[in-house]
């Protein structure tokens, strides 16, 4: 820790102060003018990887806006938070997007929600709020009510595209499954040149809701509903932040139960992804088999927690539901069956030549680009980047178990598949180790008191990668600011690189390979810019090599 | 009620849900539950569908698209609302970025398009179990009876 | 090719896993969180469940013109977390395993419980339910029990007055 602090000495005069939020998190204060130097120092000298920017409307506390730039130092096992205070009446700060590509979304988000100006930001369009949202209304500012629905008439999204490309809209309505998201693929001939993204159809105002209506112990239940597939990750991460900020000792047994459920969630999520990936490839048999193997895991989750998906067992200070002795044997039995069926299935899958040929060499994401975009989870690990929060910043009971982090150097879709395949085996192993060592004792801390205006920061390895939460606590057991950065937020912008110069028929697979929860049966509208002719193509036909 | 004598085709529309309902809907199609037993099948276009399956609280960004899809489903149509979000807006019923569920959507449809509320099956749950979704669809098909009913109790 | 044929063999050996629901009832594991059941005869209208409810599925409204406290439970907003049952002091709410909750209209998803309110003996305003008061009174020592019929504001005034009378405050 001292080593890290002394390394900042070279920046004298530019850094105003260094504090610890908790054991693994360092908070560095600086000014807008020195921001570039500090960021450059962290990314180049300390090998920090950009995570997210957190905007806080702290005008009630000290009359200013805070921008907190988060970097993960994987080698030193630390997070560095660089805080910049901005003038309350007219907040502006230089954009760091020219330095770090991954900061693009974070800056646009803060501009939309908090009204902070980013000087020299390359993209002036809205990201989070709908096109119809009134200019000058910033929902995360404290004076704006969480109920305010400041909508004007509907304005369709205007993508940027040049004249000589064909634009393929991907979404926003996926006629079959999953979330509404809108991609536009710019195509020259058969090759994808660029990608435009307009998502945030699912923006529900969760952060504002947590800050306005809910109490500290209600938020775990909302956090769980951020994502329906890996929601437990969010509720664990939120609880860890509050526990860290308030110094609450969580009983060991509760930590073990959390880790256990997290791993069950990872197994079902990876199996789900595997099924969807097979479906995208047109290998529907694989889809059905993957989901057949997955179903007993869902039954297991239901048995242990009371619900198949939204487990609802987390509270600040521990868990609500204990693991019964008689369930342990059942867990082991089911996992052994799953492992057996899964091993056979993977054996078949990797024996199907067409599947392998489609996966190998497509959707390349080189290591340097992976660092620049700050990608996380299996996407990073498939690009030779050994990042895993469970190892880099241990939490819950992961310090007590031994497991391998699969890393592949191939940077392609096959590598991303293999990372996930191996992780399922590792997860099964972790669960067995946890059950072996499961300590006895209470499951919920007794004294849960949270002081006001404390800051906390924590990360959890979700099935899709690093999930990050930041909380500043408020008065009357509420939170003042709650910021969530889900893993896909870092991974989706990297699609720009993965899809560059890739054949059109590989695009659906590559988009699915980062696991942003997309269905393969999506439909595309192909618009030929020159003739204005429109074709509607099912994704599946495109995946099989459709051409105009 | 039995609107449909034969198999119903369903168009699935996520209006901003968290995916939990969506993966349960997908689960209903896979080997353990297999709703194709009843001839139920997901289709790729609302114009081919008999029923519109809605999950999610209807976010503002999604609203115009939801209305388009709803209008594209031919009559007679059924709306199947899966989960607490579409029924009432769920946890997010009063936030800035959602409209607060189907009741509000139907009000907008009535006021702006003069369309009455279509027949709607509401399946509460967060998310509903796959069996609960089958129960809801079976209710629309007239195979099972509705179990919940309104209750008003006065106590001293 | 041979591998793919093996897959067919494997699928045949696994057989049919499809469950017969809805023609035979579904298995629900012990501890599944389904429909919360309200036992109105036990409810005292203390509003604890309403305070803890994350999606505001349980709401309380005091109607002073009718003299009732109205508990409204909206199944269509419930997230089935079971926190209400955790905090209920009289165990009036129990979490059942019931999950077949589909309804063809919105009204059937609602439950309304009206609980009579009681007036403060000092200022005459409604302040809590009769049942709540009875439960609290049962837990108190003698001597303070007669203060129970008075609303918190009046009680504060009364306490202050008696202190002044005792000469503790001037």
CA distance to partner chain A, nearest, from residue B106 (Å): 18
Instruction: Using alpha carbons, select from B153, B40, B94 the residue that is nearest to residue C68.
Output: B153
What does the alpha-carbon distance between residue A43 and residue A374 come to, in Å, rounded to a whole number?
11
The residue that leads in pLDDT, C83 or A200, is: C83
Model confidence at A373: pLDDT above 60: yes
What does the alpha-carbon distance between residue A445 and residue C103 come to, in Å, rounded to a whole number?
40
User: Mean pLDDT over residues A437-453, rounded?
Assistant: 87
Phi (first) and psi of residue A73, to 5 degrees? -100, 90
Residue A85, class by beta-carbon neighbours within 10 Å (0-12 exposed, 13-18 middle, 19+ buried)?
A: buried
User: Mean pLDDT over residues A75-87, rounded?
Assistant: 88
CA dihedral sign of residues A41, A43, A47, A51: positive
What does the alpha-carbon distance between residue A435 and residue A332 come to, in Å, rounded to a whole number?
9
> Is B144 in Cβ contact with C100 (below 8 Å)?
yes
- With respect to residue A22, please indicate whether it lies within any of the assigned structural domains: yes
**Residue C24, both tokens:** 């035979």
User: Mean pLDDT over residues A489-501, rounded?
Assistant: 81
What does the alpha-carbon distance between residue A271 and residue A294 come to, in Å, rounded to a whole number?
6
**Beta-ladder partners of C129:** C117
Measured between CB atoms, does B57 come within 8 Å of chain A? yes
- With respect to residue B82, please indicate whether it lies within any of the assigned structural domains: yes
- With respect to residue A493, please indicate whether it lies within any of the assigned structural domains: yes
| Interface size between A and B, measured as CB pairs under 8 A | 152
CA distance to partner chain B, nearest, from residue A478 (Å): 17
pLDDT number for residue A538: 42
What does the alpha-carbon distance between residue A228 and residue A403 come to, in Å, rounded to a whole number?
26
Contacts of A302 in chain C (CB under 8 A): 29, 32
pLDDT number for residue A429: 93
DSSP conformational letter for C33: -
**Residue A394, both tokens:** 């241990």
**Rounded percentage of chain A residues whose pLDDT exceeds 70:** 88
Strand C110-119 with C68-74, pairing: antiparallel
Phi (first) and psi of residue A20, to 5 degrees? -105, 135
**Beta-ladder partners of A167:** A186, A527
Expressed as residue numbers, the domain containing B32 is 9-141
Expressed as residue numbers, the domain containing A438 is 206-513
Measured between CB atoms, does B42 come within 8 Å of chain A? yes
pLDDT number for residue A521: 23
pLDDT number for residue A172: 63
Are residues A174 and B15 in contact, defined by beta-carbon separation less than 8 angstroms?
no
Please confirm whether the linkage preceding C22 is cis (ω < 30° from 0).
yes
pLDDT number for residue A435: 92
What does the alpha-carbon distance between residue A480 and residue A455 come to, in Å, rounded to a whole number?
10
pLDDT number for residue A532: 34
The H or E element containing residue A192 is: strand A191-198
- CA A409 distance to own-chain centroid: 22
CA distance to partner chain C, nearest, from residue B82 (Å): 9
What does the alpha-carbon distance between residue A208 and residue A206 come to, in Å, rounded to a whole number?
5
Measured between CB atoms, does B149 come within 8 Å of chain C? yes
**Beta-ladder partners of A468:** A459, A485
Residue of A129, A178, A229 lying closest to B14 (CB–CB): A178
pLDDT tens digit string along A83-134? Answer: 999 988 888 898 988 888 888 888 888 888 888 988 888 888 877 777 777 8
What does the alpha-carbon distance between residue A205 and residue A140 come to, in Å, rounded to a whole number?
9
B88, B102, B107, best to mutate vs chain C, most C CBs in 10 Å: B88
**Rounded percentage of chain B residues whose pLDDT exceeds 90:** 15
pLDDT number for residue A255: 93
- With respect to residue B148, please indicate whether it lies within any of the assigned structural domains: no
- With respect to residue A315, please indicate whether it lies within any of the assigned structural domains: yes
Phi (first) and psi of residue A339, to 5 degrees? -60, -40
Residue of B124, B134, B136 lying closest to C21 (CB–CB): B134
| Interface size between A and C, measured as CB pairs under 8 A | 50
**Beta-ladder partners of A135:** none
B16, B18, B99, best to mutate vs chain A, most A CBs in 10 Å: B18
pLDDT number for residue A517: 44
Q: Would you place residue A498 in the very low, low, confident or very high pLDDT band (cuts 50, 70, 90)?
A: confident
CATH number (3.20.20.80, 3.30.70.20, 3.30.70.100, 3.10.20.740) of C28-166 reads 3.30.70.20
The residue that leads in pLDDT, B61 or C83, is: C83
> Is C80 in Cβ contact with B125 (below 8 Å)?
yes
Beta-carbon neighbour count of residue A124 at 10 Å?
8
What does the alpha-carbon distance between residue A87 and residue A535 come to, in Å, rounded to a whole number?
51
Q: Would you place residue A533 in the very low, low, confident or very high pLDDT band (cuts 50, 70, 90)?
A: very low
DSSP assignments along chain B, one per residue: ----SS--EEEEEESS--SHHHHHHHHHHSTTT-GGGGT-EE-S-GGG-SEEEEES--BTTTHHHHHHHHHHSPSS-EEEEESHHHHH-GGGTTSTTB--SHHHHHHHHHHHH-PPPPEEEEE--SSPPHHHHHHHHHHHHTSS------EEEEE-
pLDDT number for residue A264: 93
Q: The domain spanning residue B27 has which CATH number? A: 3.40.50.12280
User: Mean pLDDT over residues A407-429, rounded?
Assistant: 91
Q: Is the same domain home to A139 and A41?
A: yes
Beta-carbon neighbour count of residue A440 at 10 Å?
7
What does the alpha-carbon distance between residue A522 and residue A538 come to, in Å, rounded to a whole number?
6
Helix axes A284-305 and A325-349, enclosed angle (nearest 10):
170
DSSP assignments along C84-150, one per residue: HHHH-TT--EEE-S-----BSSSGGGEEEEEEEEEE-TTT--EEEEHHHHHHHHHHSPTTTGGGGGS
Angle A226-A231-A237 from CA coordinates, rounded to 5°: 95
Contacts of C108 in chain B (CB under 8 A): 146, 148-150
> Is C78 in Cβ contact with B124 (below 8 Å)?
yes
CA distance to partner chain C, nearest, from residue B14 (Å): 17
Contacts of A228 in chain B (CB under 8 A): 17-23, 127
Q: Is the ipTM of this complex over 0.95?
A: no
pLDDT number for residue A156: 66
Q: Would you place residue A516 in the very low, low, confident or very high pLDDT band (cuts 50, 70, 90)?
A: low
The H or E element containing residue A247 is: none
The residue that leads in pLDDT, C167 or A353, is: A353
Measured between CB atoms, does B151 come within 8 Å of chain C? yes
Q: Is the same domain home to A276 and A412?
A: yes
What does the alpha-carbon distance between residue C46 and residue A344 come to, in Å, rounded to a whole number?
57
User: Mean pLDDT over residues A17-45, rounded?
Assistant: 86
DSSP conformational letter for A433: H
Instruction: Using alpha carbons, select from B92, B74, B96 the residue that is nearest to residue B84.
Output: B92
What does the alpha-carbon distance between residue A147 and residue A376 come to, in Å, rounded to a whole number?
34
Beta-carbon neighbour count of residue A326 at 10 Å?
8
Residue where the block lists tokens 């302040």: C127
pLDDT tens digit string along A458-473? Answer: 999 988 888 889 999 8
Chains contacting chain C through 3 or more C-beta pairs under 8 A: A, B
Q: Coil, helix or strand for A330?
A: helix
Measured between CB atoms, does B22 come within 8 Å of chain A? yes
Chains contacting chain A through 3 or more C-beta pairs under 8 A: B, C
Q: The domain spanning residue A69 has which CATH number? A: 3.30.460.80
Q: Is the same domain home to A141 and A214?
A: no
DSSP count for chain A of H helices, then E strands: 19, 18
**Beta-ladder partners of A22:** A25
Query: For chain B, how many structural domains are there in total?
Result: 1
Are residues B125 and C101 in contact, defined by beta-carbon separation less than 8 angstroms?
yes
pLDDT tens digit string along A287-305? Answer: 889 999 999 999 999 999 9
- CA A519 distance to own-chain centroid: 18
Which parts of chain C have pLDDT scores under 50? none
Model confidence at A269: pLDDT above 70: yes
- With respect to residue B4, please indicate whether it lies within any of the assigned structural domains: no
What does the alpha-carbon distance between residue A99 and residue A176 come to, in Å, rounded to a whole number?
39
What does the alpha-carbon distance between residue A159 and residue A167 come to, in Å, rounded to a whole number?
9
Q: Is the same domain home to A211 and A291?
A: yes
> Is C32 in Cβ contact with A306 (below 8 Å)?
yes
> Is B18 in Cβ contact with A231 (below 8 Å)?
yes
Q: Among A145, A170, A188, which residue terminates a domain?
A: A145
Instruction: Using alpha carbons, select from B46, B136, B31 the residue that is nearest to residue B83.
Output: B136
The residue that leads in pLDDT, A443 or A132, is: A443
- CA A68 distance to own-chain centroid: 18
- Average pLDDT, whole number, for chain B? 86
> Is C99 in Cβ contact with B128 (below 8 Å)?
yes
What does the alpha-carbon distance between residue B70 and residue B87 come to, in Å, rounded to a whole number?
16
DSSP assignments along A280-311, one per residue: HTT-HHHHHHHHHHHHHHHHHHHHHHSSSS--
- Average pLDDT, whole number, for chain A? 82
- CA A373 distance to own-chain centroid: 13
- With respect to residue B152, please indicate whether it lies within any of the assigned structural domains: no
- With respect to residue A14, please indicate whether it lies within any of the assigned structural domains: yes
Q: Is the same domain home to A6 and A127?
A: yes
Are residues A511 and A119 in contact, defined by beta-carbon separation less than 8 angstroms?
no
Model confidence at A201: pLDDT above 80: no
Query: For chain A, how many structural domains are there in total?
Result: 2
Per-domain boundaries in chain C: 28-166
Contacts of C10 in chain A (CB under 8 A): 344, 348
Are residues A386 and A405 in contact, defined by beta-carbon separation less than 8 angstroms?
yes
Model confidence at B43: pLDDT above 80: yes
User: Mean pLDDT over residues A238-261, rounded?
Assistant: 91
pLDDT tens digit string along C68-101? Answer: 999 999 999 999 999 999 999 999 999 999 998 9
CA distance to partner chain B, nearest, from residue C141 (Å): 25
> Is A174 in Cβ contact with B96 (below 8 Å)?
no
Chain A residues within 8 Å of chain C (Cβ atoms): 214, 217-218, 221-222, 225, 285, 289, 292, 295, 299, 302-303, 306-307, 310, 312, 320-321, 344, 347-348, 351-352
CA B89 → CA C35, C77, C161, distances in Å? 19, 7, 50
pLDDT number for residue A159: 63
Q: Would you place residue A534 in the very low, low, confident or very high pLDDT band (cuts 50, 70, 90)?
A: very low
Are residues B79 and B121 in contact, defined by beta-carbon separation less than 8 angstroms?
yes
> Is B120 in Cβ contact with C76 (below 8 Å)?
no
pLDDT number for residue A213: 86
The residue that leads in pLDDT, C124 or A220, is: A220
Residue of A214, A285, A310 lying closest to C7 (CB–CB): A285
User: Mean pLDDT over residues A365-389, rounded?
Assistant: 88
Model confidence at A160: pLDDT above 70: no
CA dihedral sign of residues A514, A233, A171, A162: negative
A206, A305, A306, A356, best to mutate vs chain C, most C CBs in 10 Å: A306
């Amino acid at each position: 820790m001292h080593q890290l602090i002394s390394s900042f000495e070279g920046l004298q005069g530019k850094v105003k102060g260094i504090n610890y939020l908790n054991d693994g998190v360092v908070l560095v204060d600086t000014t807008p003018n020195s921001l570039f130097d500090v960021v450059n120092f962290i990314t180049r000298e300390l090998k920090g990887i950009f995570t997210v920017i957190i905007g806080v409307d702290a005008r009630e506390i000290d009359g200013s806006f805070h921008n907190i730039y988060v970097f993960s130092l994987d080698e030193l096992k630390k997070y560095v938070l660089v805080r910049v205070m901005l003038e309350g009446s007219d907040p502006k700060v230089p954009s760091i997007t020219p330095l770090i590509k991954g900061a693009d979304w974070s800056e646009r988000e803060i501009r939309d929600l908090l009204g902070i100006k980013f000087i020299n930001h390359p993209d002036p369009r809205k990201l989070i709020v709908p096109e119809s949202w009134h200019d000058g209304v910033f929902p995360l500012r404290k004076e704006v009510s969480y109920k305010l629905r400041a909508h004007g008439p509907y304005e369709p999204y205007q993508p940027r595209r040049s004249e000589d490309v064909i634009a393929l809209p991907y979404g926003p309505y996926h006629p079959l499954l999953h979330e509404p998201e809108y991609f536009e693929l710019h195509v020259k001939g058969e090759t994808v040149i660029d990608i435009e993204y307009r998502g945030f159809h699912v923006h529900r105002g969760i952060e504002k809701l947590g800050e306005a209506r809910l109490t500290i112990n209600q938020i775990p239940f909302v956090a769980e509903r951020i994502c329906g597939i890996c929601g437990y990750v969010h509720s664990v991460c939120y609880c860890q932040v509050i526990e860290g900020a308030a110094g609450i000792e969580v009983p060991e047994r509760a930590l073990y139960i959390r880790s256990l459920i997290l791993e069950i969630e990872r197994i079902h999520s990876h199996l789900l992804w595997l099924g969807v990936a097979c479906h995208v490839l047109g290998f529907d048999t694989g889809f059905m088999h993957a989901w057949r193997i997955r179903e007993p895991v869902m039954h297991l989750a239901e048995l242990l927690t009371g619900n198949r998906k939204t487990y609802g067992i987390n509270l600040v200070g521990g868990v609500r539901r204990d693991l019964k002795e008689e369930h342990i044997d059942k867990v082991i039995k089911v996992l052994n069956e799953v492992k057996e069926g899964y091993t056979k299935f993977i054996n078949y899958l990797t024996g199907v030549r067409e599947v392998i040929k489609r996966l190998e060499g497509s959707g390349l994401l080189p290591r340097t680009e992976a660092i620049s975009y700050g990608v996380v989870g299996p996407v990073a690990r498939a690009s030779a980047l050994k990042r895993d929060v469970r190892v880099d910043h241990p939490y819950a009971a992961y310090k007590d178990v031994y497991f391998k982090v699969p890393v592949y150097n191939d940077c392609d879709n096959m590598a991303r598949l293999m990372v996930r395949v191996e992780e399922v085996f590792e997860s099964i192993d972790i669960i067995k180790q946890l059950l072996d060592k499961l300590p006895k004792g209470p499951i919920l801390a007794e004294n849960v008191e949270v002081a006001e205006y404390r800051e906390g920061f924590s990360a959890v390895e979700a099935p899709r990668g690093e999930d990050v939460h930041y909380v500043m606590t408020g008065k009357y057991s509420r939170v003042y600011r709650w910021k969530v950065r889900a893993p896909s937020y870092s991974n989706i912008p990297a699609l720009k690189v993965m899809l560059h110069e890739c054949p059109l028929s590989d695009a659906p697979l590559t988009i699915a390979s980062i696991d942003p929860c997309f269905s393969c049966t999506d439909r595309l509208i192909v618009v030929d810019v020159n003739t204005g002719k429109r074709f509607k193509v099912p994704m599946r036909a495109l995946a099989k090599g459709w051409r105009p | 009620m039995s609107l449909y004598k034969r198999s119903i085709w369903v168009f699935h529309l996520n209006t901003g849900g968290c995916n939990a309902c969506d993966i349960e809907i997908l689960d209903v199609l896979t080997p353990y539950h297999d709703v194709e037993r009843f001839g139920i099948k997901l289709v790729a276009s609302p114009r081919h569908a008999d029923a519109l399956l809605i999950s999610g609280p209807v976010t503002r960004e999604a609203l115009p698209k939801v209305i388009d899809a709803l209008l594209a489903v031919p009559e007679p149509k059924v709306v199947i609302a899966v989960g607490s979000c579409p029924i009432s807006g769920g946890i997010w019923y009063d936030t800035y970025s959602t409209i607060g569920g189907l009741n509000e959507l139907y009000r907008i449809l009535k006021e702006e398009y003069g369309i009455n509320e279509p027949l709607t099956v509401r399946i509460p749950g967060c998310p509903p179990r796959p069996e609960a979704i089958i129960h809801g669809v079976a209710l629309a098909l007239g195979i099972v009876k509705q179990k919940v009913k309104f209750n008003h109790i006065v106590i001293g | 090719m041979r591998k793919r044929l093996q897959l067919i063999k494997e699928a045949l050996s696994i057989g049919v896993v499809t469950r017969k629901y809805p023609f035979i009832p579904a298995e629900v594991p012990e501890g599944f969180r389904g429909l919360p059941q309200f036992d109105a005869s036990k409810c005292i209208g203390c509003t604890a469940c309403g305070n803890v409810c994350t999606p505001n599925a349980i709401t309380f409204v005091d109607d002073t013109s009718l003299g009732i406290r109205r508990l409204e439970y909206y199944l269509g907003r419930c997230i089935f977390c079971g926190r209400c049952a955790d905090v209920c002091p009289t165990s009036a709410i129990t979490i059942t395993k019931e999950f077949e909750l589909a309804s063809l209209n919105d009204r059937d998803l609602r439950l309304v419980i009206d609980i009579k309110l009681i007036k403060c003996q000092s200022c005459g305003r409604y302040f809590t339910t009769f049942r709540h008061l009875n439960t609290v009174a049962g837990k108190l020592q003698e001597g303070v029990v007669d203060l129970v019929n008075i609303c918190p504001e009046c009680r504060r005034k009364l306490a202050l007055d008696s202190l002044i009378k005792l000469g503790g405050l001037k």
